[in-house]
Amino acid sequence: MKAAVIHEFGAVPRYEDFPDPVAGGGEVLVEVKAVAVENVDKAVAAGTHFAARHFLREFPAIVVFDGIGTLPDGTLVGFSQPRPPYGALAERTVVPVQNTTPAPEGIDPAIAVVISSAVTGFAIKTAAGFTPGETVLVQGATGVAGRLAVQVARLLGAARIVATGRDNDALDEVIGLGADAVINTAVEDDELVEAFAAEAGSGYDVVLDFLWGRPTELLLKALVPSRIGHPNPTRLIQAGESAGARIALTADSVRTSGLEVYGVGKGLDGQAVADAYGQIVQWTRDGKLVVGIERAPLADIETAWQRTDLRGRRLVVTP
């Protein structure tokens, strides 16, 4: 069969022949239909992700580790964690039976394989206790997960949504997805602090942060009150680090701002994930949740893997 194969960490996957998988005890063969390529997949292939050696235990190996495909009886399923060295970016793969679940009916597999990214948006509710009518700030709203998070916040009943990013054209698109205001973070520090303060209104109730690094440091600076009072708490959910892995957390940003910080996984247990995913599927069927994708055939994986022009669309590979 054909597959996207690497022979060492850091290599770009190539379209190569690879031995066909054979299912063992407790396993099932899957005919792959659609695979979404995410940043975490590239980090694993590069060897920089903490779980890289769990997924890639030997070389050569096939990259990416979940997708949508059909079982031998034709059932369309989502699948995850194929048996190494098999991965998802192949014509066929082999996975434990328990790692398959029915795929949502009535949704294009290329869309269905991406919409799970919207579960992160539900962290405003599961981690921070969001209630309808609150103000939400999405830090890093021009990426795939950020765009979905803006839509989730609107559908959950946010009264006001502020979104940040570095590209004005992309931010204009985010307004079309439901943001009330946008902030370009590619400005001088003082200007960004002023923008955060100006758009806060009576305060940001919930912040879903895909950025961290400099933009979050400056946000926390903007949250420090200019006079003594009792500010409403800002519940910040840490969901990513595309702008940096560290911040300098000043004492006053915690002591006087009412800041509360949570990890994105707080409260996101199995039942919460199932409930969120069910709602996402329904919104997608109803046309209320829109996801941008860029399709590429498996044969073009070497070029597609290196693309940097996706601008908020998810690369979806179809064998």
User: Domain coordinates of the chain in residue numbers?
Assistant: 2-114+292-318, 117-263
CA 111 to chain centre: 14
Number of C-alpha atoms within 13 angstroms, CB side, residue 162?
Answer: 23
- Per the CB < 8 A criterion, the answer to whether 156 and 178 are in contact is no
DSSP 77-99: EEEE-PPTT--SSBSEEEEEGGG
For the chain, how big is the Rg over CA atoms in Å? 21
Query: Are the beta carbons of 194 and 185 closer than 8 angstroms?
Result: no
Same topology, domains 2-114+292-318 and 117-263? Answer is: yes
Query: Looking at residue 230, what is its pLDDT?
Result: 57
- Residue 76 dihedral angles phi and psi, to the nearest 5°: -85, 125
Q: What pLDDT, on a 0 to 100 scale, did the predictor assign at position 227?
A: 65
Cβ neighbours for 218, distance < 8 A, ≥ 6 positions apart: 189, 192, 193, 196
Burial tier of 136 (Cβ tally within 10 Å: 0-12, 13-18, 19+): buried
Instruction: List all residues 6 or more positions away from 57 whose beta carbon is below 8 Å from its beta carbon.
Output: 84, 85
Report which of 181, 141, 186, 146 is spatially closest to residue 161, judged by C-alpha positions.
181
Provide the 3-class DSSP secondary structure of residue 61: strand
Q: Which CATH architecture has domain 117-263?
A: Alpha-Beta Complex (3.90)
Residue 162: beta bridge partners? 137, 181
Spell out the per-residue pLDDT of the chain, length 319, in tens.
999 999 999 999 999 999 999 999 999 999 999 999 998 899 999 999 999 999 999 999 999 999 999 999 999 999 999 999 999 999 999 999 999 999 998 999 999 999 999 999 999 999 999 999 999 999 999 999 999 999 999 999 999 999 999 999 999 999 999 999 999 999 999 999 999 999 998 899 999 999 999 999 999 999 988 766 556 789 999 999 999 999 999 888 888 778 999 999 999 888 999 999 999 999 999 999 999 999 999 999 999 999 999 989 999 999 8
Report the C-alpha gap between 10 and 16 in whole angstroms.
17
Q: SS3 of 315, please?
A: strand
Q: Distance between CA 104 and CA 102 in Å, rounded?
A: 6
Bridge partners of 101, per DSSP, are 78
Q: Tell me which H or E stretch contains 4.
A: strand 2-6
Number of Cβ within 10 Å of residue 254's Cβ equals 15
**Alpha carbon distances (Å) from 309 to 139, 184, 257, 258:** 20, 19, 38, 39
Just give the CATH number of 2-114+292-318: 3.90.180.10
CA distance 56 to 274: 28
